[in-house]
Amino acid sequence: MENQENQEKKHKRRVRYSGTHPRNYKEKYKELNPEKYADTISKVIQKGGTPAGMHISICVQEILDFFDIQPGQQGLDATLGYGGHTSKMLEKLQGEGHIYGLDVDPIESAKTKKRLEEKGFGSDILTVKLENFANIDKVAKEAGKFDFVLADLGVSSMQIDNPDRGFTFKAEGPLDLRMNPEKGISAAERLHDISREELAGMLVENADEPYAEEIAEAVTEKIRKGGKIETTTGLHQVIGEALAFIPEKERKEAIRKSSQRVFQALRIDVNHEFEVLYDFLDKLPGVLKPGGKVAILTFHSGEDRLVKKSFKQWKKEGLYSEIAKDVIRPSKEECFRNSRAKCTKMRWAIRSEE
Ligand SMILES: C[S@@+](CC[C@H](N)C(=O)[O-])C[C@H]1O[C@@H](n2cnc3c(N)ncnc32)[C@H](O)[C@@H]1O
């Protein structure tokens, strides 16, 4: 007992080591200007990390092998992000053909457009559009049909790593979670008006959260009593309080996992991710040339189920001639190099010749 008290005193007295690392995202590394600090960047990548301000593309070789891009073709990257996949696909065009790159994020897509321009991919070969992939029919109407279409779903590392966007509970920031912060409502606003039942349903449907009821009750009670949940860490704290009944030994890990799932569920909700994916999948055969190819990378089971179902349905109706029999997974080596690849599933389909 005495020993324990002594230890607690010691613990309290300890001055926290502030470390040599920059304390916030904006100071973090030189990574926000990745092209300028190639050495720092390659060291982070070698250790299996993703440098802040950058995104490491997944299954690049598998996608290139499947598309077998030829000079003169026209492609669509439905989720431009950092432009990693797009720049590799542009290289395959060898200066002939065109790629349309869509994204809903005005902040990152402007940076990507500039970065790709500086790499030599100007408007003659690349068109970057601030557009939701739910509207691919509109894009194809202007551009014509595509030989290949890629969708790499979800969020980019730049979005996750930037606390101002509110995608992670690991850093303090506004509880926003919108890919386009200029449209729709933030996650904080969404929580403000939601009922306990609706929130519990959302957590189960979008993320299979096992403690959906407990978390929904804690969140809505706090708001009903006039409390505010407006920051990422604020929500994380309420989740912690809701799970206080879990034995101490398991609690920290349970709170971490539940927080991850709750943030995923809210992100899916405020960005209408299932609805737009549904529209995209529905319109896909109509924007592909005969023999055109589509590859989709998903990051959770809800997305993969939708892709699988749509591919099967269109194959049955004769619009796809071939679809991937099983999901394709990134190699173990890739998962080791990039931990964000671990949960990736890829599926592909080929438009029938008609
Ligand atoms: C995983 S990242 C793509 C990374 C990219 N493949 C690369 O190599 O850098 C997903 C991107 O898709 C965008 N996005 C998500 N949903 C979208 C939608 N419905 N329409 C267009 N872009 C979307 C996100 O804003 C994000 O930039």
Q: Which fold has domain 180-270?
A: DNA polymerase; domain 1 (1.10.150)
Taking the centre of ligand 1 as the mean of its atom positions, its distance from the CA of residue 139, in whole angstroms, is 16
Give pLDDT, residue 43. 63
The mean pLDDT of 84-92, rounded to a whole number, is: 98
Query: Which two tokens mark 115?
Result: 């970065």
Asked which of 4-18, 71-85, 102-116, 140-154 is least confident by mean pLDDT, the reply is 4-18
Give pLDDT, residue 37. 56
Calculate the alpha carbon distances from 12 to 3, 15, 186, 252, 294 in Å. Answer: 14, 8, 38, 21, 57
Note the pLDDT tens digit of each residue in 145-196: 999 999 999 999 999 999 999 999 999 999 999 999 999 999 999 999 899 9
Calculate the alpha carbon distances from 296 to 59, 70, 83, 154 in Å. Answer: 10, 20, 16, 11
Task: Please give the ipTM for the structure prediction.
Answer: 0.99
Top CATH class, 60-118+125-157+274-351: alpha beta
Q: Which atom of ligand 1 is nearest to the CA of 58?
A: 8
SS3 of 244, please? coil
Taking the centre of ligand 1 as the mean of its atom positions, its distance from the CA of residue 81, in whole angstroms, is 5
Query: Which two tokens mark 274?
Result: 């299932």
Taking the centre of ligand 1 as the mean of its atom positions, its distance from the CA of residue 165, in whole angstroms, is 15
SS3 of 290, please? strand
Question: In whole numbers, what is the pLDDT of the chain averaged over residues?
Answer: 90
Give pLDDT, residue 13. 45
Residue type, 241: E
Higher-confidence residue: 143 or 43?
143
Give pLDDT, residue 275. 96
- What is the reported pTM? 0.87
- Evaluate whether 69 touches 148 at the Cβ level (below 8 Å): yes
Taking the centre of ligand 1 as the mean of its atom positions, its distance from the CA of residue 60, in whole angstroms, is 15
Give pLDDT, residue 1. 44
Most confident of 32-36, 213-217, 224-228: 213-217
152 is in an annotated binding site: yes
Q: Which of 267, 270, 265, 268 is nearest to 203 (CA)?
A: 265
Note the pLDDT tens digit of each residue in 111-150: 999 999 999 999 999 999 999 999 999 999 999 999 999 9
CA dist 348 and 325 (Å) reads 9
Domain(s) of CATH 3.40.50.150: residues in the chain: 60-118+125-157+274-351
Domain(s) of CATH 1.10.150: residues in the chain: 180-270
Residue type, 271: N
CA dist 167 and 268 (Å) reads 11
- Band (35; pLDDT cuts 50, 70, 90): low
The ligand 1 site (C-beta within 6 Å) comprises: 55, 57, 79, 81-85, 102-105, 108, 132-134, 152, 154-156, 179, 276
Calculate the alpha carbon distances from 108 to 61, 141, 194 in Å. Answer: 24, 25, 30
Note the pLDDT tens digit of each residue in 223-262: 999 999 999 999 999 999 999 999 999 999 999 999 999 9
CA dist 316 and 311 (Å) reads 9
The mean pLDDT of 195-217, rounded to a whole number, is: 96
Q: Which atom of ligand 1 is nearest to the CA of 132?
A: 20
Question: Which of 137, 179, 340 for mutating ligand 1's site (highest number of atoms within 8 Å of CB)?
Answer: 179
Expressed in percent and rounded to 5, the helix, strand and coil fractions of the chain are 50, 15, 35
The mean pLDDT of 285-291, rounded to a whole number, is: 98
Q: Which of 108, 109, 264, 270 is nearest to 183 (CA)?
A: 270
318, pLDDT greater than 60: yes
Give pLDDT, residue 42. 64
- Band (17; pLDDT cuts 50, 70, 90): very low
Give pLDDT, residue 55. 85
- Evaluate whether 208 touches 198 at the Cβ level (below 8 Å): no
Give pLDDT, residue 50. 64
